[in-house]
Structure 1
Amino acid sequence: MAARLAQVEGAEHTAMLGLGVYRPARVVTNDEVAGPIDSSDEWIRTRSGIKTRRFASDAETIVEMSAAAGRDALAAAGITADQVNCVIVATSTWLLLTPAAAPQVATQLGMNHPAAFDISAGCAGFCHAIAVASDLVKGGTAKYALVVGVERLTDAVNPTDRGTAFLFADGAGAVVIGPSDEPGIGPTVWGSDGTQHRAIRQDKDWMEFFNEIDAKGADAVRPYLAMEGTAVFRWAAHSLKTVCLDAIASAGLTPGDIDAMVPHQANGRIIEIMARELKLPQDTALANDIEHTGNTSAASIPLAMEALLRSGETKPGTDALLVAFGAGLSYAAQVVKLPNWQ
């Protein structure tokens, strides 16, 4: 008879134990980005809700920003680096096919050789990584996991593209996920719609670019991020209500129980529509960090969580709905207890 394999038991419940963020030093106004796209501060504010955003310097790399956010998340959680068993970095702007950024982030933080890998789910990447990390802790594969959402979208955006240049920005946010005495991360409702894959995309693949270099030399145009803004707006405005309601119900709650909502900071108008469609209570705290941070894709949710906590509109331990959507199209939502922050 074959021997029976031993099983590892994990935590019954998980929670986000600590939050840290990194915002690049350089603040960029609408006037600065408006010139190359023949736009204006008023046009940008009206269509996106953005007033300023942050652009990273050459020294503020994916690894450096991730490590800075991760360091503060560990401190807020009261966890040391050598206790972390897994690092997950959610990003779409790590411009190497291999190796991943996560092992370098772990080393930068002085960790003791944890598992470390990147995931790419566009702007929904952070919520995807939360789901994976929570399940790893519940399954016993890790006791503590560090999840980072980080982007340098200024590396991927054409500054003369009227559809994207004013929207996207840079930054990083991180949370420590570990065992909890009570449920702190509800079931994740997630999915994808590949029929909408062209809505947010890289406008050419790397082989196409290499072939252009061979044919055109210095006249070849590098790949950039492209977006069909109207298609994304319609999809998000009309498709995410069910995802959000399913996430709330899966957590055993009703919309009236939600203390805060932290949606992906894609567009100010989308945020308003989502809150209205869900009929959340009037006193529900609504993250609107896009006004000063822009759209930072996978970094958007943790940065918005920190801004909401810092404002005093909500506090650690309250029930918050996280929801994000992006390239793929991919989407994810979960109800969480907001973490301690630093």
Structure 2
Amino acid sequence: MPSLFDTTQAGDLELANRIVMAPLTRNRSPNAVPPDIAATYYSQRASAGLLITEATAISHQGQGYADVPGLYGTEQLDAWKKVTHAVHEANGKIVVQLWHVGRVSHHELQPGYGQPVAPSAITAKTKTVLIRDGVPVFVETSEPRALALEELPGIVHTYQAAARNAVETAGFDGVEIHGANGYLLDQFLKDGSNKRTDDYGGSIKNRARLMLEVTRAITDAIGGGRTGIRLSPVTPANDVIDSNPQPLFEYVVRQLAPLNLAYIHIIEGATGGPRELPDRPFDYAALKAAYRSAGGKGAWMVNNGYDKSLAEKAVADGADLVAFGVPFIANPDLVERLRSNAALNKPDKTTFYGGGARGYIDYPTLD
């Protein structure tokens, strides 16, 4: 029987085990530059088979929360280089999550205090984070404008450039495309947020077009074996919904299959919430079958609310990788704690977003 602690392969990435640290936004990067302690934070957790960084903006326009990191400036890339070096020194593997938030932003975070962008000019009924007087505050998102058709090739190019810079300059082992949780690519994908009438709206094929163009551009730049993608078929996060997600996402994974991706990262149920939604049933086994039947060979990563027993069952049932989120915040040595059935530290939720070392790099490890 396969084990959580077996070595495995995800595209070009040789992983020491099947345990993945999920992306975790921590709001500790003023001016979108990761702080020096980020190198400590990630290297402390390098025993995971794979580290996925916190979501990282591909451009100033793509930023939606205060003090989240970016990949679009020399100072940002130099800071990330310190992180990847520290992780590699600790024998870890790390990919960066490429992020464009689309409409989930505020004009104070946008270039020139402009409007956030979206597939359609529909305000997301959700909140984002600003820093005021040194304190994180949650505010309503700003009204977005619809991206013009002629702007979309530039969006694709920006994703591609960020991926190339991440690997060639910052030293990441690969990238994860953030196609989930109601951010830009997910907004285009789902009919609740995409009301376009051009080639990027309407049919499933059209709504999936931008996500697939982005993924193909990135694999052209750095190779499919260094590229993963995160999808969330039914999460209500950030006010997104699709009227018929099963055929939509089965189409998406069938189109992704020929790209020879490193992995597909699936959020099951509501992000950070229930794994099953009675009003939004979804067949994840059928989704995986659609991917495999189309020739998809990338590792299948599952996520949302996993503990050790649930993760072991998932691996026994055929999952290749299991992502853990919040447990990694308080347990830098989570892999060893799971292996030895040790008790887990409890996270201090007051330190999740913003701040310094406290609640970031000061959690104790096993003796």
Q: TM-score range by the shorter chain?
A: under 0.3
Structure number with greater CO (CA < 8 Å, separation at least 6) is 1
Instruction: Normalising by structure 1, report the TM-score.
Output: 0.28
Q: What TM-score do the two structures reach when normalised by structure 2? A: 0.26
Higher normalized strand content (fraction of residues): 1
